[in-house]
Structure 1
Amino acid sequence: MKRSSLKIISLLLVCMVVLSACGGPSNRSNSSNGGNEGADKSAKLEELTVVLPVAGTISKDLQMVEDAINTIAMEKIHAKVKFLHISFGDWEQQTNLMYAGNEKMDLIWISGSNYTNLVAKGQLQAMDDLFADHGQGITAAIDQSYLGATKIGGKTYAVPTVRDFASSTGVNMNKALVDKYRIDVNGIKSLDDLEQVLRTVKEGEGPEMYPLVPGANGRTFLDDLNNFDALSDSIGVLPNYDNGLKVVNYYESQEYADFLNKIRGWFMDGLIPKDVATSQTSRVDLIKANKAFAYSAKLNPVSKVTETALVGQEMEPAEIYPAVATTSSVTGSMWAIPVNSTIPDKAMDFLNLMYSDKDVVNLYDWGIEGTHYVKVDGMDNVIAYPEGVDKADLGYSMPMGWMFGNQFLSYVQQGNDPEVWTKMKAFNDGAGRSKALGFLFDATPVKTEYAAVTNVITQYKIPLETGSVDPAKILPEFISKLKSAGIDKIIAEKQKQLDEWAQANGVN
């Protein structure tokens, strides 16, 4: 072969190598948030559908915010997202149809109430293998004991949002009346202590004042003022969050009878409204109208601020039982990757941003700086409305930071405690933990009995636990019907599952 021909072939080979290198994967750079690697810019731009509930109407500037989030997502993970909001009222029906129709869903918000059911139906993908390469920001943001509380069969199918993982038990009281009657808030450490305060307010304010109301319509006083792990549904509970992992039927316990008798006494003495079991008037309206002094509640470090903002006048929380984390408190708000998603690794990449990227979190929580909020001078994490703008004409309002990833990265509105998230983290770290933290009950083996018992509870729970009926007459009837419906079989199944869970997780 001639030398000139060899030169030409050599040049062609060099060009091919150079072109191959130019056309191959680009260098990947580490993200500044959470350890995500930069995306392959030559690859297809993936589109993610993120499904989540919303209360009220969709903000008119949502697309503007979505576009701003996508600017970050395209740069950091080479993907775009589309937020699909569904109203809370339509949530269950619409998402069930989407699962059944295999509609595109890459990330979805879920609550603990339907978590085990979704896993049992095979509608969620296990995430464990994705954490190492795509979820470092998530695992850095969540204490492993809380992240582990979502495991089913040793696998993680959902990630809890970073917020209050625990709650204490007590009441929120009208601060003006607390001051008026010189109530020692720190001295309220039992139901007996609370009773004395309620009687003081009743005596001073007269017959039009009912000192105590439930935390919400349809809730009972026991829903808030309890000292047990409900193990998801209160059909078999763990007293004092331990009890040697012995599940009991709380409805036939002496503690339950004592509670009902006390609440009944409050009802008969006018400390509770006579229509408490059926009233549709909210606690907020009752407080504002000076017809109620306090309501039962689960508490955390932001309770005073959030309840004051909600009611429109200063509220004062009083803790009766200290903070404890249970599976229900951890799994109340979570994110999962539906089986419908064909790009779970990319879905995990965006989920990772929701837990590690402050800009993404605050875009969703508050909107665009300068348009929907401004930073308060000298305070990097405190924001206020822009000049001349108030909440009524704000183009973007999505006050659901507890739902969107890592709330601890969220800015704080002016007037609230700038250190609130530091305090919330300390609250989580210092909270007690139920011995059954991480246990999730699967009612499938007793679904017939479960449905029957649930119907009985629906009939009796609210009247009994609001003091509206005489427990001496009604409680024995309630217990008898629970027995006939099969509650003992459910509790035996729950005990069996709890024992198996404890053995598998080394809990004793």
Structure 2
Amino acid sequence: MKRLKSVTRFLMIIMSVFLVLAGCSSKESSSSNSSSSENKSYEITMAYLTTSSKVDDLPLVQEEINKITKKEINATVKLVPISGAAWQQQQNLMLTSNEKLDLIMSSSFYGYNTQAAKGQYLPLDDLLQSHGQEVLKVVPKNLLEGNKVNGKIYGIPSIRDWGSYYGFAMRKDLVDKYKIDLSQIKTFTDLEDVFKVIKENEPSLTPVVNTTAGTSVATALTAGKFDVLGDNLGVVSFKDKNIVNLFDDPQYVEAVKLARKWFKAGYIIKDSATSKESAANLVKANKGFGYLAKMKPGFDVQETGITGHEMVSVKLTDVYSFTDAATGFNLSIARNSQNPEKTMEFINLLYTDKDIMNLLDLGVEGKHYVKNTDGTIKLPEGVKESKYVFNQWEIGNNFLTYPWEGNPANYWDIMKKHNESAVFSPAFGFTFNPDPVKTEIAASTNVLNQYKLGLESGTLDPEKSLPEFNSKLKASGLEKIIAEKQKQFDKWNKK
């Protein structure tokens, strides 16, 4: 019996030792797994709009960016460029599906307010405080405030030209050929003489090749008179600071009548209301002479690089800053991001890291550009066209990048003064919550899609179509939308 007790005691001691060892092993394994998880690099998927097909060297640029991000934040980035023609459809698919998406270019031109209100983006207020402190130091507070929807920040605006003016950009070789005196072009109507010369002497070219609502003839002619608040359904008048119906205002009526006159004269491209091609690409393809555009310092140099033709422009309005200066081009974190914290850390780098921004915007030094002694850059010798082009105004802190040759070395100082000269919209910083009138907005948007670009490009006759347009907008609930916007605008003004 005593021997049996001794054996039992011995077995219990052995079992206890095994349990302790097993526990230690389990803890070590758990600790090891946790450490492994923390050390695992995260891949950030970033989708953005591109207006250029020059993305052959994207993998190379991405690889160079990732060398920095891996070291700085233990993350890599997968760049996903999407063409302008496919953007609306593709962004909707990405935001409404379970597809992996962390970061996306968001814009009031493509439904930013609605997407934020639907919860397709994550609110960024807390993330900015915990992982985005550098962004808060760089981006002006009024721009971040201007991106709020229902009191929350959902997008971080790019640091770029916050003020803009409208003008007309055109091929310099033809301006020189026909001895066009740009100093004599003071107004939009002064352009008619230029268009006439091109129409008569260059039959293969259309004088005006605008194809999008944001740069239509009527949009340009009414610049500085209204802030369209992103959707054109109830706009703020600069004159009396009230919400009004843009489409029955006498200034708009005059603008669409001029567009119609130009269209009938053959000055505006025939398929301007339906074409998905950008104006710059039409000039590049030798189909057009020029286009109306929102401009900034250095615009001619920028467009020269895109079109492949040396471009010159005339300034036809003052500098204005609208609500879309804040909401026009942002970075938003998608609701289905698997690591919002790491994504915000990458956003931090886009606003502070000069090397990353120059890679993203300009490509690889020595291959896509070389530096001049004055600090500007140019294409490497023997390279006519870069195999990497990025819309740098979309994303991050552009003030960190090198200016292209043709711009002064102090380009960003000039841009700063340009921004400071802007006349700010009376609605700057105001964000409309569409929820109370979302049914009316959906119905009215369908009407906009039916008439707006056709009228503003001159394709539709305003004598007939404009009354129809306004009648259908009224039936769709535009007056209710305007009343709701005025209510929210008045409340915002009292703050």
Measured against aligned partners, the alpha-carbon deviations of 1:75-105 in whole angstroms (never above 9, x if no partner) come to: 333x212315153455555555555555554
1:138 to 135, 140, 144: 135
Q: Which moved more, 1:450-459 or 1:295-304?
A: 450-459
**Mapping for residues 9-28 of structure 1, pairs under 5 Å:** none
Structure 2 match to 1:428: 419
Partners of 2:375 and 2:143 in 1: CA distance: 29
Letter of the structure 2 residue corresponding to residue 445 of structure 1:
P
Partners of 1:332 and 1:409 in 2: CA distance: 20
Q: CA deviation at 1:160?
A: 0.8
Q: Which moved more, 1:274-283 or 1:170-179?
A: 274-283
Partners of 2:159 and 2:441 in 1: CA distance: 32
Give the TM-score normalised by the residue count of structure 1.
0.77
Q: Helix, strand or coil for the counterpart of 1:169?
A: strand
**Mapping for residues 467-486 of structure 1, pairs under 5 Å:** 467-486=458-477
RMSD, aligned CA: 3.6
Structure 2 match to 1:72: 68
1:382 to 349, 355, 377: 377
For the Cα contact (< 8 Å) 2:124–2:152, is it kept in 1?
Answer: yes
Query: Does 2:126 align with 1:129?
Result: yes
Distance 1:490 1:212, change over 3 A: farther
Letter of the structure 1 residue corresponding to residue 66 of structure 2:
N
Partners of 2:111 and 2:309 in 1: CA distance: 36
Structure 2 match to 1:411: 402
Distance 1:343 1:464, change over 3 A: closer
Q: CA deviation at 1:58?
A: 8.9
Q: CA deviation at 1:409?
A: 1.4
Partners of 1:450 and 1:99 in 2: CA distance: 20
Structure 2 match to 1:166: 163
Listed as ranges, the gaps of 5+ residues in structure 1 are 1-39
1:120 to 117, 122, 126: 117
**Mapping for residues 117-266 of structure 1, pairs under 5 Å:** 117-179=114-176, 183-199=180-196, 201=197, 205=200, 208=203, 212-216=207-211, 220-227=216-223, 228-239=226-237, 242-266=238-262
Q: CA deviation at 1:282?
A: 6.5
Q: Helix, strand or coil for the counterpart of 1:435?
A: coil
Partners of 1:70 and 1:352 in 2: CA distance: 15
Distance 1:135 1:252, change over 3 A: same
Letter of the structure 2 residue corresponding to residue 70 of structure 1:
N
For the Cα contact (< 8 Å) 1:287–1:294, is it kept in 2?
Answer: yes
Partners of 1:207 and 1:86 in 2: CA distance: 35
Partners of 1:374 and 1:290 in 2: CA distance: 26
Letter of the structure 1 residue corresponding to residue 141 of structure 2:
Q
Letter of the structure 1 residue corresponding to residue 47 of structure 2:
L
Q: Helix, strand or coil for the counterpart of 2:319?
A: strand
Q: Helix, strand or coil for the counterpart of 1:108?
A: strand
Distance 1:59 1:459, change over 3 A: closer
Partners of 2:425 and 2:145 in 1: CA distance: 13
Structure 2 match to 1:318: 314
Q: CA deviation at 1:437?
A: 1.2
Letter of the structure 1 residue corresponding to residue 76 of structure 2:
V
Letter of the structure 2 residue corresponding to residue 138 of structure 1:
V
Partners of 1:384 and 1:299 in 2: CA distance: 23
Partners of 1:356 and 1:237 in 2: CA distance: 35
1:332 to 324, 328, 333: 328
Partners of 2:276 and 2:40 in 1: CA distance: 50
Letter of the structure 2 residue corresponding to residue 255 of structure 1:
Q
For the Cα contact (< 8 Å) 2:131–2:341, is it kept in 1?
Answer: yes
Q: CA deviation at 1:159?
A: 0.3
Q: How many residues align?
A: 456
Q: Which moved more, 1:274-283 or 1:475-484?
A: 274-283
Q: Which moved more, 1:243-252 or 1:89-98?
A: 89-98
Measured against aligned partners, the alpha-carbon deviations of 1:346-378 in whole angstroms (never above 9, x if no partner) come to: 3222211111011121232344444x2464352
For the Cα contact (< 8 Å) 1:48–1:347, is it kept in 2?
Answer: no
Listed as ranges, the gaps of 5+ residues in structure 2 are 1-34
Partners of 1:97 and 1:173 in 2: CA distance: 37
Query: Does 2:492 align with 1:501?
Result: yes
Q: CA deviation at 1:173?
A: 2.9
Partners of 1:451 and 1:429 in 2: CA distance: 36
Distance 1:186 1:438, change over 3 A: farther
For the Cα contact (< 8 Å) 1:401–1:410, is it kept in 2?
Answer: no
Partners of 2:47 and 2:275 in 1: CA distance: 31
Measured against aligned partners, the alpha-carbon deviations of 1:14-61 in whole angstroms (never above 9, x if no partner) come to: xxxxxxxxxxxxxxxxxxxxxxxxxx9995344142321354779565
Letter of the structure 2 residue corresponding to residue 137 of structure 1:
E
Identical amino acids, percent of aligned pairs = 40
Partners of 1:61 and 1:267 in 2: CA distance: 40
Measured against aligned partners, the alpha-carbon deviations of 1:121-166 in whole angstroms (never above 9, x if no partner) come to: 2232322234345334323332322232112233222101122223
Q: CA deviation at 1:270?
A: 4.6
Structure 1 match to 2:293: 297
Q: Helix, strand or coil for the counterpart of 1:363?
A: helix
Partners of 1:289 and 1:342 in 2: CA distance: 42
Q: Helix, strand or coil for the counterpart of 2:300?
A: helix
Measured against aligned partners, the alpha-carbon deviations of 1:372-431 in whole angstroms (never above 9, x if no partner) come to: 24643524452532x666646x5xx24232233112212334455443333223222222
Q: Helix, strand or coil for the counterpart of 2:320?
A: strand
Q: Helix, strand or coil for the counterpart of 2:414?
A: helix
Give the TM-score normalised by the residue count of structure 2.
0.79
